[in-house]
């Protein structure tokens, strides 16, 4: 039996009062709140395991090294991969740029094709724009239908070298058919890169079953800290990739004029690791094993959809999970966010770093509510009440 009230008590931020109201936090797609379990893990490293990992041999440094190594194993288990396929980065954006600046720079040639979709967050679009311009490659954008789903039969894989796709859209909340995309990409010799930022908190991830070649995500979407991310990649592909950034930790030997580099994954981890963030990520993964997000969040997600429809709003696409992006007639999204905040409801307004997708739906911007493992019926009711109040101001 789900004890949602008990779970909510694990999140200190939910005790915050906003303009005299209880907090209805409906912005988890931007940044999820952190449970005390994660906060305690970060504090423990700050106070007891505070050494520099893989740099010194004293007790605190050895403890910090163990935090990094243990979390790498945790992430591998979470994704269904191997520890040496897990690269620590500063977030999904850095992970995708790493692929663009290493694999793509080394392998793309003039007239090769990179395929993205109309669904993409800017982090999974702009790096490919940049590398295609540099290499003379073609950037091909696969269309979606009015529900926010891809029509795979409308995608031409001719000359494709790389396909980049979001697993779950941060606007439409639709789930991409990753396994089938992987099959079609591999049939023409292309690699598949998946932006998993919105998926990891809501879906079980198995990179082997998905068949992708790279998978990227951020800790702060998964109840962990900001500034921490993961790039998972197939060992055979990572081993053939050059390093991206140079510095301490990623080198084997350094001469006056040349250097040699360490094996993967540390070849891609220049500089002192973000031990606090890594510890928080490991704790966040452990925390997510205590519940089934898709089952637990379905009721709240359906309630948010119903509330928007009741207020006469238009939803962008047909969301399957995680997010509901919408417009209200005659009301600017920023006004919706401001007035909702006055009722204690935290939501997002703007184009959500997905401007081309908004153009696809003939919207300059939208408002977005998103669920977390702590979203309850009271949050949904508070949101619905806020929409009623907004319609009173903007009838």
Determine which one of 132, 212, 353, 373 is catalytic.
353
Please list the alpha-helical segments (H only) found in the chain.
4-8, 36-47, 59-79, 92-99, 105-107, 126-135, 178-187, 207-210, 235-238, 275-288, 293-310, 333-342, 355-360, 377-393
Q: How far is CA 261 from CA 98, 99, 290, in A?
A: 16, 18, 39
- Cis peptide leading into residue 166 (ω within 30°): no
The torsion angles phi and psi of 351, rounded to 5 degrees, stand at -100, 5
**SS3 category, 141:** strand
**SS3 category, 148:** coil
Strand 366-370, strand 348-350: pairing: antiparallel
Can you tell me the distance from the alpha carbon of 166 to that of 203, in angstroms, rounded to the nearest whole number? 13
Task: Count Cα neighbours of 78 within 13 Å in the Cβ-side half-sphere.
Answer: 30
Asked if 330 and 394 count as a contact pair (C-beta separation under 8 A), the reply is yes
Q: Give per-residue burial for 349-373: e unless 16+ CB within 10 Å, then b.
A: bbbbbbeebbebbebebbbbbbbbb
Can you tell me the distance from the alpha carbon of 126 to that of 139, in angstroms, rounded to the nearest whole number? 11
Among candidate residues 150, 149, 166, 201, the one with its CA nearest the CA of residue 29:
201
Q: How far is CA 155 from CA 44, 48, 99, 117, 144, in A?
A: 49, 53, 22, 9, 10
Structural element, H or E, at residue 10: none
The angle subtended at Cα 89 by Cα 228 and Cα 206, nearest 5°, is 85
Q: Is-catalytic flag, 373?
A: no
For helices 377-393 and 293-310, give the axis angle rounded to 10 degrees.
Answer: 20
- Which positions are annotated as active-site residues? 353
């Amino acid at each position: 039996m789900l004890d949602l009230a008990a779970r909510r008590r694990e999140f200190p931020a939910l005790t915050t009062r906003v303009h005299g109201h209880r907090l209805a936090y409906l912005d988890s797609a931007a940044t999820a709140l952190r449970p005390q379990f994660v906060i305690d893990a970060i504090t423990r490293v700050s106070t007891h395991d505070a050494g520099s990992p893989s740099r010194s041999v004293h007790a605190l440094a050895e403890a910090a090294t163990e935090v990094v190594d243990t979390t790498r194993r945790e992430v591998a288990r979470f994704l269904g991969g191997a520890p040496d396929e897990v690269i620590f980065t500063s977030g999904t954006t850095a992970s995708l740029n790493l692929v663009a600046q290493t694999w793509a720079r080394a392998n793309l040639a003039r007239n090769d094709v990179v395929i993205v979709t109309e669904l993409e967050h800017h982090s999974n679009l702009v790096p490919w724009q940049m590398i295609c311009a540099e290499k003379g490659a073609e950037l091909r954008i696969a269309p979606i239908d009015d529900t926010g789903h891809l029509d795979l039969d409308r995608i031409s894989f001719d000359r494709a070298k790389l396909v980049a796709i979001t697993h779950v859209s941060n606007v439409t909340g639709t789930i991409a058919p990753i396994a089938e995309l992987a099959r079609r990409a591999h049939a023409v010799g292309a690699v598949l890169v998946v932006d998993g930022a919105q998926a990891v908190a809501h879906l079980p991830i198995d990179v082997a079953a998905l068949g992708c070649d790279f998978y990227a995500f951020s800790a702060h979407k998964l109840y962990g800290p900001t500034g921490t991310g993961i790039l998972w990649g197939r060992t055979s592909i990572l081993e053939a990739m050059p390093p991206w950034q140079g510095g301490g930790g990623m080198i084997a030997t350094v001469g006056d004029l040349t250097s040699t580099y360490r094996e993967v994954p540390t070849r891609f981890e220049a500089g002192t690791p973000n031990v606090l963030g890594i510890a928080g990520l490991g704790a966040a993964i452990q925390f997510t094993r205590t519940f089934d997000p898709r089952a637990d969040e379905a009721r709240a997600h359906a309630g948010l959809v119903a509330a928007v429809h009741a207020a006469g709003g238009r939803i962008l696409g047909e969301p399957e999970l995680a997010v509901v992006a919408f417009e209200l007639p005659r009301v600017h999204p920023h006004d919706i966010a401001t007035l909702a905040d006055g009722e204690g409801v935290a939501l997002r307004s703007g184009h959500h770093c997905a401007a081309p997708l908004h153009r696809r739906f003939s919207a300059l911007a939208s408002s977005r509510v998103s669920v977390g493992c702590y979203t309850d019926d009271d949050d949904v009711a508070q949101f619905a009440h806020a929409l009623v109040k907004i319609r009173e101001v903007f009838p």
